Amino acid sequence: METHMPDFALPSSHPTLNGRKTAKSARDSFSAYNSKYLTVPQNRTSWHRSGTNGALEVVSYRSSTINNYVEGTQIRARDKASPSGLYFRDSKRKVDYVLAYHYRKRLARHVPGAASPEPRRGFASVALVSNGSTGKGRAEPQQQQQPDDGQRALQEWPGLPGLEVVEFSPLDTLEEERRLQREEYERNLLEAGLEIEKDPESKSQGVSFVRIHAPWQVLSREAELLKIKMPTKKMYEITEEKGILKTLNEIWCKLTEPLQPQVPQQENTKMKTLSYPFSREKIYLYNIKDKDTFFDNATRSRIVREILKRTFTKARNSMGIGTLIANNVYDAAYPLHDGEYEGQNDDMNERKLLYQEWARYGVFYKFQPIDLIRKYFGEKIGLYFAWLGLYTEFLIPSSVVGIIVFLYGCLTIESDIPSKEMCDQRNAFTMCPLCDKFCDYWNLSSACATARASHLFDNPATVFFSIFMALWATMFLEQWKRLQMRLSYFWDLTGLEEEEEHPRPEYETKLLQKKLKNKNITTESSNENEKEKLTWSDRMPGYAANFGLILFMIMLAFSAVFGVIVYRITTAAALSFSTNETTRSNVRVTVTATAVIINLVVVLILDEIYGAVAKWLTEIEIPKTEKTFEERLILKAFLLKFVNSYASIFYVAFFKGRFVGRPGRYVYVFEGYRMEECAPGGCLMELCIQLSIIMLGKQLIQNNLFEIGIPKLKKLFRKLKDERTEVKEMDTNQSKDPQQWDLDYILEPFTGLTPEYMEMIIQFGFVTLFVASFPLAPVFALLNNIIEVRLDAKKFVTELRRPDTVREKDIGIWYNILSGIGKLSVIINAFVIAVTSDFIPRLMYQYAYSQNGTMHGFINHTLSYFNVSQLKAGTQPENSLFAQEVSFCRFKDYREPPWSPHQYEFSKQYWAVLSARLAFVILFQNLVMFLSVLVDWMIPDIPKDISEQIKKEKTVLVDFFLKEEHEKLKLIESFIAHDKQKRRSGTKSRRTRAASFSQCHRSPKGSFTSFSSQHTVV
**Tens-digit pLDDT profile for residues 686-707:** 888 888 888 888 888 877 777 7
Describe the crossing of helices 908-938 and 460-490 by its angle, rounded to 10 degrees: 20
- Is 533's pLDDT higher than 80? no
The residue with greater pLDDT, 858 or 989, is: 858
* Residue 196 C-beta-side C-alpha neighbours within 13 Å: 25
φ/ψ of residue 665, rounded to 5 = -150, 60
pLDDT band of 164, cuts 50, 70, 90: low
pLDDT tens per residue, range 30-74:
344 333 333 333 333 333 333 333 333 333 333 333 333 333 334
* Residue 117 C-beta-side C-alpha neighbours within 13 Å: 10
pTM of the model: 0.80
Write the DSSP symbol of residue 208: E
pLDDT tens per residue, range 227-286:
888 888 888 888 776 677 778 878 888 888 888 888 887 666 778 888 888 888 888 888
- Is 144's pLDDT higher than 50? no
First to last CA, the chain: 60
The residue with greater pLDDT, 323 or 136, is: 323
The residue with greater pLDDT, 978 or 198, is: 198
What's the Cα-to-Cα distance from 843 to each of 109, 421, 451, 837, rounded to whole Å? 91, 17, 18, 12
pLDDT tens per residue, range 944-962:
888 888 888 888 888 887 8
pLDDT at 498: 65
pLDDT at 34: 38
pLDDT band of 559, cuts 50, 70, 90: very high
What's the Cα-to-Cα distance from 728 to each of 103, 202, 207, 738, rounded to whole Å? 15, 12, 13, 17
The residue with greater pLDDT, 213 or 200, is: 213
- Is 220's pLDDT higher than 50? yes
- Is 833's pLDDT higher than 50? yes
pLDDT at 26: 37
pLDDT band of 500, cuts 50, 70, 90: low
Q: Residue 729: which of 178, 84, 118, 105 has the closest Cα?
A: 105
Which letter, b or e, does each residue of 592-618 get, where b requires 16 or more Cβ atoms within 10 Å of its Cβ?
beebbeebbebbbebbeebbebbeebb
pLDDT at 383: 94
- Report the range of poorest mean pLDDT among 494-498, 543-547, 829-833, 939-943: 494-498
The residue with greater pLDDT, 382 or 37, is: 382
pLDDT at 154: 42
The residue with greater pLDDT, 209 or 496, is: 209
pLDDT at 997: 43
Give the separation between CA 924 and CA 928, rounded to whole angstroms: 6
Which of 153-158's residues contact partners 24+ apart within 8 Å by CB, and which partners? Answer: 153/47, 153/56, 153/58, 154/47, 154/56, 157/3
pLDDT at 318: 66
- Is 920's pLDDT higher than 90? yes
Q: Where are the alpha helices (DSSP H) in 337-459?
A: 350-357, 370-377, 379-411, 417-423, 448-455
Mean local confidence (pLDDT), 956-982:
81
Query: Would you mind telling me the total number of residues written for the chain in this entry?
Result: 1018
- Is 142's pLDDT higher than 70? no
pLDDT at 1011: 34
Mean local confidence (pLDDT), 844-863:
89
The CA-based dihedral angle spanning residues 341, 343, 346, 350, taken in that order and rounded to the nearest 10 degrees: 0
- Where on the phi/psi map is residue 585: left (φ > 0), alpha (ψ -120 to 50), or beta? alpha
- Report the range of poorest mean pLDDT among 204-218, 231-245, 906-920, 997-1011: 997-1011
The residue with greater pLDDT, 56 or 583, is: 583
φ/ψ of residue 231, rounded to 5 = -70, 140
Across the chain, mean pLDDT equals 77
Give the separation between CA 966 and CA 404, rounded to whole angstroms: 66
pLDDT at 821: 93
Mean local confidence (pLDDT), 549-577:
87
φ/ψ of residue 286, rounded to 5 = -95, 155
pLDDT at 736: 58
- Is 681's pLDDT higher than 90? no
- Report the range of poorest mean pLDDT among 107-111, 493-497, 535-539, 903-907: 107-111
Q: Residue 219: which of 198, 196, 192, 197 has the closest Cα?
A: 192
pLDDT at 524: 43
Q: Residue 788: which of 377, 384, 469 has the closest Cα?
A: 384
pLDDT band of 315, cuts 50, 70, 90: low
pLDDT at 817: 94
pLDDT at 723: 65
- Is 23's pLDDT higher than 70? no
Helix (H) or strand (E) holding 183: helix 170-191
pLDDT band of 456, cuts 50, 70, 90: confident
Mean local confidence (pLDDT), 119-141:
41
The rounded percent of the chain whose pLDDT value lies above 90 is: 22
Q: Residue 460: which of 771, 780, 829, 837 has the closest Cα?
A: 837
Amino acid at 5: M
pLDDT at 131: 52
pLDDT at 274: 86
pLDDT at 316: 58
Mean local confidence (pLDDT), 355-369:
90
The residue with greater pLDDT, 608 or 343, is: 608
φ/ψ of residue 774, rounded to 5 = -145, 80
The residue with greater pLDDT, 549 or 438, is: 549
pLDDT band of 128, cuts 50, 70, 90: very low
The rounded percent of the chain whose pLDDT value lies above 70 is: 76
* Residue 355 C-beta-side C-alpha neighbours within 13 Å: 16
DSSP string, 50-67: -TTT--EEEEEPPPEEES
Mean local confidence (pLDDT), 199-218:
86
Q: What angle do CA 627, 631, 634 make, to 5 degrees?
A: 135
- Report the range of poorest mean pLDDT among 338-347, 527-536, 745-754: 527-536
830 neighbors 771 (Cβ within 8 angstroms): no
